Structure formats: C-alpha cells, structure tokens
Amino acid sequence: QKEVEQNSGPLSVPEGAIASLNCTYSDRGSQSFFWYRQYSGKSPELIMSIYSNGDKEDGRFTAQLNKASQYVSLLIRDSQPSDSATYLCAITGQGAQKLVFGQGTRLTINP
C-alpha cells in the first residue's frame, strides 16, 4: 500500500461547479497535511495546510481532514478554467519533517 494515495484522474469538472479531490494515507501518526497545485512545467505551489480534524476554508478552497478515516480532501468551489492543474496531496509523519507526496490528481475545468 502506498503511503499517500490519490486518484490520478483526469478529473473533469464544468466551470462553476465544485471540484472534489481526495487523498488517503496509511500512517496513522501523520501530523500535517498539505495540498499543492502544480501547473504544467511549473513547481508545486502550496495552497492549503490543515492539521486538525474538520474543515478549513480559504477563499474558494476548503480542506477537510478526517484522521479516524485517514483521508484528507480538497474542495474547490466555483471552479474556474485557471484551476486546471495537477493537485498534489502531501503529508508529514509523526516526528518527521519530510513531505511524502501522492501521485497527484490532474484536474481539468471545462468552460
């Protein structure tokens, strides 16, 4: 089992709809959870961090964490074509500072 798993997609969502991206992880001791956005040919850009169970909202983005079920998700409301990118889930384990990345989900927003 991979440490961090994401559906590679592609995920296609119409403009204005909600895009839902999911990530599961295997290490119950994981402490910090991140979502990065990566445009083609660019480096990853941190868009959300979440550390506690529940929801965290930032503009059109909402991160959701459920440690009991070992999943973290990212919701993008009012999706725009500019949201089309690969979204990477990354996690740090207990006592560790290194990031472990999922394979990424390619998201396409259709006008």
Partner 1 sequence: SAVISQKPSRDICQRGTSLTIQCQVDSQVTMMFWYRQQPGQSLTLIATANQGSEATYESGFVIDKFPISRPNLTFSTLTVSNMSPEDSSIYLCSVEGGEARDYLYNEQFFGPGTRLTVL
Residues 21-80 close enough to bind partner 1 by CB under 8 A: 31-32, 34, 42-46, 49, 51
Burial of 14 (0-12, 13-18, 19+ CB in 10 A): exposed
Q: The tokens of 97 are what?
A: 């500072």
DSSP 67: T
The reply on whether position 11 binds partner 1 by CB under 8 A is: no
Q: The tokens of 83 are what?
A: 């949201």
- State how far the alpha carbon of 101 is from the alpha carbons of 16, 65, 70, 104, in Å: 28, 16, 15, 8
The reply on whether position 99 binds partner 1 by CB under 8 A is: yes
- Quote the least distance from Cβ 76 to partner 1, whole Å: 20
Binding segment (CB under 8 A) for partner 1, from list 19-27, 68-76, 77-85, 91-99: 91-99
Measure the CA angle with vertex 50, ends 29 and 17; round to 5°: 125
The reply on whether position 13 binds partner 1 by CB under 8 A is: no
- Judged by CB under 8 A, the number of residues near partner 1 is 21
The reply on whether position 1 binds partner 1 by CB under 8 A is: no
- The contact set with partner 1 (CB under 8 A) reads 31-32, 34, 42-46, 49, 51, 88, 90, 92, 97-104
